[in-house]
Amino acid sequence: MIVSKNLLTLIGVACLIVSCGDSSSMKGDQYYSDGQYEEAIVAYASYLEKKPGNVKALYNKGRAHEELAEFTEAEKSFKAALEQEPKNIQVLLSLSNLYHRNGNPELALMYADNAVEIAGAPSMAYFLKARSMHRIGNVKEALREYNAAIKMSPKNGQYFYYRGMLYAATEDMASACSDFKTALENGFEEAQGSIATYCP
């Protein structure tokens, strides 16, 4: 199962926060926030001609490519950013999510695991690690990481939803239905379908 658009939105928020302090990069940020992703890419590329190693511009350019489903180009930009800052959690999470979208849970796990190892890693790092292990079939480890993510962000409906899906896969329907209901209570609308399917 692919990570939902909600997750992409959370990860993408950093694009709107970071700014490279140059007119070209600021134009790129404005284009991105207006949904003009092609124009954003051009603006970031212009900035990167002058400052090719700027992590924020590389990252934001990658996010714009991702919005256009240009995943190969997004991967190149994210990896270029990571070469400059190997412990940049935002870039690690975006790479992990990118590999989720493209059906490569092993690589998704590698980048999520690297993010978790960094002090102060957010709940999203644990969630992405859990999703990777879930898709690989490592139930015990996936459950541990879902629990860690939920402990850090107990109001995140998406986390409960995917933990519920893990419980459903192991036929623990009482736990699954409890998680689906909690997910819905916390605004994760996808849980409604799972409640109808698994919790008559």
pLDDT digits (tens, 9 = 90+) for 2-51: 455 555 544 554 444 344 445 567 899 999 999 999 999 999 999 999 99
Give CA–CA dist 58/77, Å, rounded: 5
- Residue 7 confidence (pLDDT): 55
C-beta atoms surrounding 99 within 10 Å: 23
Amino acid identity at 66? E
Amino acid identity at 90? Q
Of 107, 59, 60, 119, the C-alpha closest to 84 is: 59
Phi, psi of 170 (to 5 degrees): -100, 10
Domains of the chain: 1-85 (1.25.40.10)
The model's pLDDT over 126-151, given as tens digits with 9 standing for 90+, comes to 999 999 999 999 999 999 999 999 99
93: which 2 tokens? 């999470």
Rounded mean pLDDT, 157-181: 97
Q: What angle do CA 154, 157, 158 make, to 5 degrees?
A: 115
Find the largest Cα–Cα distance for the chain.
Answer: 60
Of 80, 157, 72, the C-alpha closest to 165 is: 157
- Residue 66 confidence (pLDDT): 96
The model's pLDDT over 79-110, given as tens digits with 9 standing for 90+, comes to 999 999 999 999 999 999 999 999 999 999 99
42: which 2 tokens? 């051009």
- Residue 55 reports pLDDT greater than 50: yes
Q: In the block, which residue shows the tokens 């935002």?
A: 90
- Residue 20 confidence (pLDDT): 40
